Amino acid sequence: MIQSATKQHLSPETIHALAAEVHAAPLSDSRELGNGYYNTALRLSYADGLVVVLKIAPHPSTKVLRQEDALLQTEVETLRYVSSHSDIPVPQVLSHCTSSPHVESPYLVLEHLAGVSLDSLMEEMDPHQLEQAYGIVGKYARELHELQMPFFARPTHRGDTWCQAFSDMINDVLLDAEDVCADLGVPSGEIRDTVAACAPSLCAVSTASLLHRDLWPGNVFYDVSSSRITRIIDWERAVFGDPLMEFVCALLEGLYVLGPRSAFYRSYGRTDTFTLDERVRLDLYTVYLALLLNVEGYFRDYRDPRQESQLRATVASLITRLQNDRT
């Protein structure tokens, strides 16, 4: 069970009251789904056979990252949009409540779909099975990126250009880091200057594609017997932007070696070699992700010194490379 300062600890009485608000039948069982780091997630099972997932946002008094404003609303809008515009398997939104007498936070009710995360299956799968799975993830990523909008970032935080939207995303994380005195490995001013110097590469992005932005194996549920992805979850961090950012978030490019990259790229419909502009953007997105992973630990109270050291080293190395690329 992952412990995080953003999760709420609900009493049995509160859980039963929420369950009654969600569905009229008696509650037969409730269990916390403990793999997430941000929301409180419960599986509610009712006497009439209905099973749902209840996601509750952090308490309004909880300090969260700037980019985490209205995440639950983002997830609701994204799930509804994806389900109505694509064949990507996502859980159905059953209800969304912004005002309840039982909790001060908004909550979301989703259909519960049986299955196991790809992350928990990877050690048991043979190389061929793993390649198949990553190929399907690449196929769905391509389908997702074909969904486009005339604006960048989130519907609640729109930008006219990707350069501006991404610069705002970086700046938000740096401001969060300054709030908690996080050690980033590189001064925040130097990071801002480096991003600004890379503006020509960011300005090359003219199409705003829908990005899941957290498409790692823990959010992909897979059925080995049918070689099928049964659902993709946790859409609250979705943005409209550069598809290359998905490669960093799905494959953790530049941070870890994760899964058969070539199968993902092949099914996506591109090679895993990149132009200089693309390489610059991938490095920028890896810097962003490393900063985010580092800083969020300060907010969640799950600091990991070894990981923080690795993330600082990644940021320092990539900032140096980006500076050299611009000279």
Domain with CATH 3.90.1200.10 in the chain: 116-325
Whose tokens are 């290359």? That residue is 244
Nearest partner of 148 among 231, 239, 215, judged by Cα = 239
| 12-111 classified as CATH 3.30.200.20 | yes
CA distances from 158 to 168, 239, 241, 302 (A): 10, 10, 11, 31
Walk along the chain (327 residues) and give the pLDDT tens digit of each residue: 466 777 888 999 999 999 999 999 999 999 998 777 788 999 999 999 999 999 999 999 999 999 998 899 999 999 999 999 999 999 999 999 998 999 999 999 999 987 889 988 988 989 899 899 999 999 999 999 999 998 898 866 778 899 999 999 999 999 999 999 999 999 999 999 999 999 999 999 999 999 999 998 889 999 888 889 999 999 999 999 999 999 988 776 555 555 678 888 899 999 888 999 999 999 999 999 999 999 999 998 888 899 999 999 999 999 999 999 766
Q: What superfamily would CATH give domain 116-325? A: Aminoglycoside phosphotransferase (APH), C-terminal lobe (3.90.1200.10)
Separation between Cα atoms, residue 164 and residue 141, nearest integer Å: 24
Q: What is the residue type of 265?
A: Y
Phi, psi of 82 (to 5 degrees): -65, -45
Closest Cα partner for 38 from 11, 16, 68? 68
CB 41 within 8 A of CB 123: no
Instruction: Give the pLDDT of residue 179.
Output: 96
Q: Where in the chain is the domain with CATH 3.30.200.20?
A: 12-111
